[in-house]
Amino acid sequence: MKSRNNNKEKSQVLFSFNDRDISYGVFLDVLMDIGVEKGDVLFMHSDISVFGKLCLFDREALLNSLVNVLKESVGDEGTIIMPAFTYSFTRDEVFDLENTKSEAGTLTEFFRQMPDVVRTEHPIFSSAIWGKRKEEFVNTGKDSFDENSIFGKLHKQKGKLLIFGSPFDTSCTYLHYVEQMYCVPYRYSKTFKGKVRKDGHDYEDECSFFVRYPGGDVIFDKHKTERLLLDSGIFKVRPLGGARIMMADAEALYNEGFRLLDEDIYCFLENRPDETFGDFNFERYGVEIYELIKRLYPIYRSITGDGVRETLRVIGEHIPLEVHEIKSGTMVFDWVVPKEWNIKDAYIADSKGNRIVDFKKNNLYVLNYSTPVCKKVTSRELKKHLYTLPDYPDWIRYVTSYYKEEWGFSMPHRVFESLDDRDEYEVFIDSEIKDGFLTYGELLLKGETEEEVLFSSYTCHPSLCNDNLSGISLMTFLIKYLMDKKLKYSYRFLFSPETIGAITWLCLNEGRVSAIKHGLVITCVGDSGKSVYKRSRRGDAEIDRVVEKVLADSGEPFEIIDFFPMGGDERQFCSPGFNLPVGSLMRTPYGRYPEYHTSADNLDFVGSEYLADSFGKYVKVIYILENNVSYINLNPKCEPQLGRRGLYPTIGSKKGYNQVETAYRWVLSMSDGGNSILDIAIKSGLKFSSVKQACDNLKEQGLLKEVVSKD
C-alpha cells in the first residue's frame, strides 16, 4: 500500500477546471467526504472525460492514479467492482473472457486488464473485481438481474453504488435489478444463447436479460428518475470539476426503488401506458400466434373447399367467427364465384411403384385446383405438367390454376432432373370440382361509433407460413386482444380467399363500405425482415400517417412504399370505385424473398419474436386510431405557468426535458382545434404516446378541451 500513500502521488495534478487543479488528493478527499469508508464494496460507473482539462498526459499513469485513489479509499479490506459490460450475446458475438473489451468506459477496460483483477463470466453484464472479497462476487449466475447476479450480490452484501463522473442514465443499471425483483410488467426475461471463449476453449452458453417488451412504448425517463432519487436523499452528491460524484447504499436504493414502484409502477418511464392498451407482453402473443400457425400448417387450402372450412373452424375455437357461404355461379361484379374444389390424395409413381411425389407428405406437390387424373404417361408427357425452381433445386413451388382446367404437379428440380426418360409414370390426383360454395369468415367488434376499421387477411394459401398463415393467425389474436377492450371505432375482420373473396365481400356489402374509415391488409408478418408499409391508393389517408408514425416511433428500421396495383387485397379495397383508405403493414413484402410461394416458407422461416413485433405494431396502430383527437387551448394568450401546476420542473436545468415536458409546449402552441394529436406528434417529432400524455395532463389541469366531431 506504500505507493498509495505516497505524498508525491497525492499532489499529482490530474485535471484542471476553471483554473483550479484537481489532484489525486482532491479526488480522495471527495470520496471520503461523500461517505466511502475502509472495507466498502463499491460498484462504480465512470466517465473520466468530464472532470476537466487533462493535465497528466501519460495515459497509463492517469488511469493508474485514478484506480489507486479508489483502492486507497476502501483500503486493503475493501472491494472495487467495475462494469465490464460487452452485450456480446445480444449481438451474436463470441464472449472472450480474457480478451473481449469492456464497453463501459476507458477506466473500466484499464481496470479489467490489471493483474490482480478478476472478471465474471456473464456474457452480457460481466464485471471486473479487485479486493479482499472478489471471490465472493466473481461467481454470478446466468440471470442478469436476479439475486445471484452481481447486482443481487451487491445488494445482499450491503455494497455501495458510485457514479464517478458518468451521466445518470448510463449509470443506473442497478435499477434493472430493482425492476426485476419487483416484477414490473413492462419488462420480461429473455434468454440469449451464444459462444463463450475461456482459456482458449469455446463452449455454448446462455444467459437471461430482463428486457423491455417489444412493441411496448417503454422509454426510461432518466431526468424524472434522477430527480426522484435525488429528492429522496438516497444519493449523496459532490461536484468535482466539470462533473459530479454520486454515491448511494445499494440496500437503500433498492428500498427506495420499491417504495417508488409501490406508488407508481411506471415511475421510471416517460409515459404511463394507456389503460386500454397497457399490455406490454406481446412476446406471449407471438408464441401463441406461432402455435396457431403450427396447427393450421398441415391443412390444405385453396380459394374454396373443405380446407378453408377447417381453417375457419380452428380459428373459431379462439373467436366467435361468423362463417358465410356464397354459391358457385354467383355474379360478383365482373367475376363469377367459382366451383368448389376439394382433394383427397395425389401422387406420381414410377414403374416400380415408388412414389416420387406424395401429396400427403407435402400438399404443395399438387397444382392447386388441379383436375382429377388417373393414368400412366411417358416421362416426356409428364414433364409438360411439372413445375420446378431450377435456382432452388430442393424447394417445391406453389402453383395454382383456379380459372383454367388443368392437372399438374410441382416437385423439387433435383427430382425433376432424376426422371428416367425411358420409364413410364403413374399420375394420380383424386380431386373434385363441382358446384358448391365460396367460404369466408367475418367478425364485427362494435365500438361506440358506427365508423369502422377494416382488417383483412386471406385464407387460400396451403402450407405457406409467412404468406399467409402469419396474417390470419395474427389477426385471430388481434381480435382476442381487442374483445374485452372499450373501443371508439367498430372493428371488422375479414378472413377470405385472396382476390375473389374480397371482390365477393365488396359486392355483397357495397352499401356498407362507406362506414370504413381506415383499413389494413395483414400479410407476411412473421419473417425476420424489417417492417414495410404499403400505402393506400390515396397515399395521404389517416391510416397511412398513423402507420408511418408507429414505425417511426419504434426506433427500428422500416420502409414505406407507395401503392401499386399488385399484391394483396388492398387492390380490391382501393379500386377506383371504392378507393377505401386501406394499406398493408407487413415485414418482407410478397415476392421480395426467395422463399415466397415455395416450400421454404415453412415453420422455420417465421419466428415468434417477429410475430410479436408485428403484433405490437398493429396494436400501436389501433392505439393511435382510438386516441387521435383534437383539442382547443383554453389559455391561448401566452403560455400558462406549468410549474405551479406540477407539470414542469421548477428548477431550471441544462439537461433538457423529457418528451412529455417538451410536448406541453407543442400541444399548447398547436391546439387550435384544427390539429390532432397525430398532427402534433408528426410535426414535433415526438412520440404519439408522449404527446397524448401531455394532452391528458393539460386537460386534467383545465387547459385543454377536446373538439367534439360534428359527424
Rounded average pLDDT over 477-492: 95
Cα gap 412→395, rounded to integer Å? 5
Using DSSP bridges, classify how beta strands 704-706 and 355-358 pair: parallel, antiparallel or unpaired: unpaired
Beta bridge partners of 509: none
Instruction: Tell me if 471 sits within 8 A of 409, measured CB to CB.
Output: no
- The whole-chain average pLDDT of the chain stands at 93
Q: What is the pTM assigned to this prediction?
A: 0.77
Query: How do residues 396-443 score in pLDDT, each as one tens digit?
Result: 999 999 999 999 999 999 999 999 999 999 999 999 999 999 999 999
Cα gap 478→285, rounded to integer Å? 9
Side-by-side strand order, sheet with 672-676: 672-676, 630-633, 704-706
Query: How do residues 569-580 score in pLDDT, each as one tens digit?
Result: 999 999 999 999
Using DSSP bridges, classify how beta strands 516-522 and 452-458 pair: parallel, antiparallel or unpaired: parallel
Query: How do residues 214-272 score in pLDDT, each as one tens digit?
Result: 655 677 888 889 989 999 999 999 999 999 999 999 999 999 999 999 999 889 988 77
Query: How do residues 516-546 score in pLDDT, each as one tens digit?
Result: 999 999 999 999 999 999 999 999 999 999 9
Does an H or E element contain 287, and which? helix 282-296
Query: How do residues 194-217 score in pLDDT, each as one tens digit?
Result: 999 998 899 999 989 988 876 556
Query: How do residues 119-133 score in pLDDT, each as one tens digit?
Result: 999 999 999 999 999
Q: How confident is the model at residue 3 (pLDDT cuts 50, 70, 90)?
A: very low
With pLDDT > 70 as the criterion, what percentage of the chain qualifies?
Answer: 95
Query: How do residues 312-358 score in pLDDT, each as one tens digit?
Result: 999 999 999 999 999 999 999 999 999 999 999 999 999 999 999 99
The reported pLDDT for the residue numbered 4 is 46
Cα gap 145→41, rounded to integer Å? 18
The reported pLDDT for the residue numbered 654 is 46
Query: How do residues 136-169 score in pLDDT, each as one tens digit?
Result: 999 998 999 999 999 999 999 999 999 999 998 8
Other residues' Cβ atoms within 10 Å of the Cβ of residue 254: 23
The reported pLDDT for the residue numbered 188 is 83
Cα gap 586→466, rounded to integer Å? 10
Q: Residues 269, 549, 474, CA angle at the centre, nearest 5°?
A: 85
Is the predicted pLDDT of residue 303 greater than 60, yes or no?
yes
Does an H or E element contain 28, and which? helix 24-34
Cα gap 312→365, rounded to integer Å? 23
The reported pLDDT for the residue numbered 6 is 61
Provide φ and ψ at 95, rounded to 5°: -95, 105
Other residues' Cβ atoms within 10 Å of the Cβ of residue 224: 18
Query: How do residues 660-708 score in pLDDT, each as one tens digit?
Result: 888 999 999 999 999 999 999 999 999 998 899 899 999 999 999 999 8
Residue type, 137: F
Cα gap 257→178, rounded to integer Å? 6
The reported pLDDT for the residue numbered 1 is 43
Query: How do residues 84-99 score in pLDDT, each as one tens digit?
Result: 998 888 888 889 999 9
Contact residues for 213 (Cβ-Cβ < 8 A; gap 6+):
186, 187, 188, 280, 281, 282, 283, 616
The residue with cell 442497478 is 174
Is residue 313 packed enough to be buried (19+ CB in 10 Å), middle (13-18) or exposed (0-12)? middle
**SS (HEC) of 632-668:** EECCCCCCCCCHHHCCCCCCCCCCCCCHHHHHHHHHH
Does an H or E element contain 326, and which? strand 322-327
Please confirm whether the linkage preceding 68 is cis (ω < 30° from 0): no
The reported pLDDT for the residue numbered 535 is 98
Beta bridge partners of 586: 532
